[in-house]
Chains A and B, each alone.
Chain A
Amino acid sequence: MGCACSCGGDCKVNLIYACSGAANTGLLADQVARTLASNGKGSMTCLAAVGADLSGFLASARSADKNVVVDGCKVAYGAKIFTKNGLPFEHFITTDFGVVKGQTPITGEVIETVALQIGRLI
């Protein structure tokens, strides 16, 4: 995790969150979020901290130009956390990209493919 933008400059600040859950799809969500951050699509930060109502994370989410929430599966806890807190977000679910919960092996190729597709949409 890195500071997205210092001192309120004019740069765009995208914050990326992943619900890592417990299934293969959660692993994929986490790895996709990290890949997106590595590819310069934004800064990854902590979804659990937003869920725990930690003030700094909430304030950052309120101020971000874009919050990108990557959920592993359709239960969509990441989206629920943002909705509960009234925070705007763009939502992606890994199972919408041909991944099957509990079945698809999470390989480097799968991670790159899903990250590439989401990266084009944000």
Chain B
Amino acid sequence: MKGYPDLHASALDTGQQVRLLATIDWRTAFSDPALVVVVHSAPTGAADDRARTSRLVTEGSSPCYREMIITSSIVESEVFSKQSVRILALRKRFDDAGSQPANFSSMSQAAILFSDADKTAADSSVRLDAAVQVAFVTAVGKFAVMQSFH
């Protein structure tokens, strides 16, 4: 936006998010070696995912099925507070075929670790993009842990 610092949002465009989500070791994060994870490359297209009671993927999906939807990813900054990445996410858990989903929506954030050396480096913009992406992955990981308690 004109007049405001570049917060490197392009580092988290949809394509980048898909790439980053594919790098997460979900089986370890969820302590489930049998976990099957499908990362979709496009938004759900639903007007209200929280209110939706049907599965996004119906054909061939397991009876034990969950959806994790990143509803927003935000690169944030504030006077007196460090830059960070925050995600708003929704988890929908379908325990068996025909069951109503159990929703959990929350947010998690992770600091963007960007040192003074990074700031003065010739490729500081690239480094900042990388730091934003690391923070995004960390925030998603934190949400994955949070949702396991609900």
A and B held together in a complex: no
